[in-house]
A and B are shown apart, each in its own frame.
Chain A
């Protein structure tokens, strides 16, 4: 039975329901929840592995931001493309990547998405349209515009989503990219995941406008602000932007107001924000818990069904870590592989 049909039994009227319950089937709604759990458990699993010394380097966790990644990707099809950020595990999973190959990448193994050459900060899955996370703040913005230029010139019908953080909106690349996307009316959606801090510097201290979306006006595109912790709000904004892009009407800037529970990276001592602030977001505004409550409220799933989803996610995580552990290491001989396409 579809989400829409079930919800009708509860409400007797669908038009008052939030967007996703009108737009998507039950299966899609539960798949979105599953992926949000997968993102969180993936990151918790990666963090555990890091603590136990199984993963080296660093990583940037998006725990608390799952609704933004998932909501934006819900209206996309496999062929649509995304560019992602250093905090990009959620985007990768939401776009369709397999967690086992992501774990393998974090473990530096040949079976990883980047054959062990990229790690967390360059995670990508081109087969599901993810052109890659990026270690440079704002690095993906012009690249997304270039991908959209390809889509327009070759008439592929693809749209491109460009994820970036609040920190990137003060990079020159942000302004140059938005301007070019607008003058050429390209099918690209700029998604600012504003978690309030560029590393330790709050947006209030770093950014001259109250909202990143306010900057859309300077580039003659719609600027939409959503509660990034409410899946339906994010998905609705994304849906409208995707339709606009596919019609050929050009780009949109969406700002998802959200929060990261963890520090910026593994070196963060959290001295720039209070425990109360973190607790408030975790307790009162958690995107997964809010979505689960709605699914139950609207009669789309029972708590037993939600528990079953969590269980299956945990199995996938455990299997993914096992896959990563048992995958082969790259050979040292392959150090110079893929510096160039045609080996000398």
Chain B
């Protein structure tokens, strides 16, 4: 029996997932700055404090390091905290607890404990909030064994992946692009999960594979539509998770299309695209390549304030179209 499906926004989908998790398990608590009566900086927690009370929807002081550490300690000892950073940039204040503690505790202790912790990071540019409130830092955390790092791109996925994350015994970091919060999409009612380790082919194609993360999935789909009109058939893969990486899906796609473009908002150098490119270069797909791999990533700058500069700092639809045209020259 399939649950009824409605159109709701990405942020509503997150809120619904958190409510379902809290309803089902007394140990699930929410922690973060201004997530109670204020409803969260992006109104993601909304009115949950009215339903579950301030003991379970806990406003923390502005103490990212300490707050993250409290969440780690709570997770190790029996709670299942969902910790919201107000902006993903503030993870810089809490890296000690995320990287040195949460990620390593199970390993350091020889398996004696698990850290069932979920952290949510509102990320990305496009809001005019400039350099300290607009970054895409997922690659930082993707570099750390012990963490799982996901970037759901649709309301459907963010609900299902958040519910999978709450059920997961290990720390799961969820990067949520702020421009996705208002995006609507079909979301089933009730409980369901989406795997934390599987990419999704969003559009099938023959000529070029576009592997994208988060909001770039939507830009890639837009680009693919335009490219189709020009006779270029683009396959769009929503990576969904950067740790672990779904190698099989990406490799299979590149073996089919023989061309690869990686599109991500994080700074291009040493980012997700570098990892995908290297992974393909090391794989059996390498021999299938008919063109160099291209990366479209964020510019080598902080995110600027001016809206035109801000747009120029991250890949846009025309950039993806141009890149695909260049690669596919001679295909048709």
Contacts and interface: CB of A to CB of B under 8 A. Distances in A.
Given A132-B108, A338-B106, A180 B96 contact: no
Nearest to B73: A146
A12 to B, nearest CB: 47
Given A147-B74, A173-B96, A180 B79 contact: no
B69 A145 contact: yes
Given A117-B107, A143-B72, A149-B79, A126 B66 contact: no
B306 interface: no
B58 to A, nearest CB: 8
A112 B108 CA distance: 12
Interface size class of A (residues with CB under 8 A): 35 or more
A340 B96 contact: no
Interface stretch (A48-56, A92-100, A150-158, A200-208): A150-158
A145 B70 contact: yes
Contacts of B74: 146-147, 149-150, 153
Nearest to B64: A176
Interface in B23-54: 27, 29
Interface in B161-176: 168-170
Given A136-B101, A139-B101, A180-B60, A145 B108 contact: no
B79 A118 contact: no
Interface size class of B (residues with CB under 8 A): 35 or more
19 contacts: A113-B109, A113-B112, A114-B112, A126-B109, A142-B65, A142-B97, A143-B70, A143-B101, A146-B81, A147-B77, A149-B79, A153-B79, A173-B65, A173-B69, A173-B96, A176-B69, A338-B110, A339-B106, A342-B169
A170 interface: no
Interface in A27-74: none
B146 interface: yes
Contact of B55 (A81, A112, A153, A172): A153
A176 B109 contact: no
B107 A132 contact: no
A183 interface: yes
Given A141-B69, A142-B65, A339 B145 contact: yes
A198 interface: no
Interface string B90-130: 00000011001100011111111110000000000000000
A322 to B, nearest CB: 21
B67 A176 contact: yes
Given A136-B100, A146-B76, A180 B70 contact: yes
A116 to B, nearest CB: 7
A115 interface: yes
Nearest to B103: A339
Contacts of B145: 339
